């Protein structure tokens, strides 16, 4: 499969996450809901690693890789805790679009940190997404 297929699958399952999480977080403290979800993700990820026979690759990880993956994990954890708290407090149809403002944040960081280029089409598309997300706040 191409990167685009994986990206589309990511979008579909991320979209489903909002609805499933909103239902699952009812009557449960948001931090507990996040811990349960994270435990499932952890087990699922290690099963996939094991099934794809990648466990032996752990030995070849560099310290820099581990540090940045750990920092990414911390950022993910904070994001998920905030996301589940937001879902406890507001409708998924409002929370999910605001959560997707991570796209412009990612692009700005990619430009500043990784030196990735930005075309006018990308900038315009992201601008429209920001406008769309902002419009959902008052919907």
* 69 and 106 assigned to the same domain: no
* 69 and 118 assigned to the same domain: no
* 57 and 111 assigned to the same domain: no
Q: Which long-range contacts (CB under 8 A, 24 or more apart) does 22-30 make?
A: 22/87, 22/91, 22/92, 22/95, 25/84, 25/87, 25/88, 30/81, 30/84, 30/85, 30/87, 30/88
* 23 and 42 assigned to the same domain: yes
* 80 and 106 assigned to the same domain: no
Residue 139 has pLDDT above 80, yes or no: no
pLDDT tens by residue, 74-95: 999 999 999 999 999 999 988 8
Q: In this structure, how many other beta carbons lie within 10 angstroms of the beta carbon of residue 109?
A: 12
The span from the CA of 21 to the CA of 7, in Å, is: 21
Residue at 50 is within a domain: yes
Residue 99 has pLDDT above 70, yes or no: yes
Residue 18 has pLDDT above 90, yes or no: no
* 55 and 115 assigned to the same domain: no
The span from the CA of 38 to the CA of 50, in Å, is: 18
Mean model confidence pLDDT for the chain: 92
Residue at 68 is within a domain: yes
Residue at 95 is within a domain: no
pTM of the model as a whole: 0.83
User: Domain range holding 49?
Assistant: 3-90
* 35 and 74 assigned to the same domain: yes
* 119 and 86 assigned to the same domain: no
Lowest-confidence region among 13-22, 34-43, 57-66: 13-22
Confidence tier at 136 by pLDDT (50, 70, 90): confident
pLDDT tens by residue, 24-58: 999 999 999 999 999 999 999 999 999 999 999 99
Residue at 63 is within a domain: yes
What domain count does the chain have? Answer: 2
């Amino acid at each position: 499969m191409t990167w685009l297929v994986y990206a589309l699958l990511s979008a579909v399952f991320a979209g489903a996450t909002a609805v499933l999480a909103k239902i699952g977080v009812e009557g449960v403290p948001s931090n507990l809901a996040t811990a349960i979800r994270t435990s499932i993700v952890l087990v699922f990820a290690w099963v996939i690693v094991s099934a794809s026979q990648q466990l032996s690759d752990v030995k070849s990880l560099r310290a820099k890789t581990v540090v940045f993956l750990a920092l990414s994990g911390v950022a993910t954890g904070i994001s998920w805790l905030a996301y589940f708290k937001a879902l406890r407090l507001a409708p998924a149809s409002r929370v999910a679009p605001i959560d997707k403002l991570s796209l412009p944040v990612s692009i700005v960081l990619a430009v500043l940190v990784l030196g990735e280029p930005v075309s006018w089409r990308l900038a315009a598309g992201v601008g429209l997404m920001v406008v769309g997300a902002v419009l959902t706040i008052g919907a």
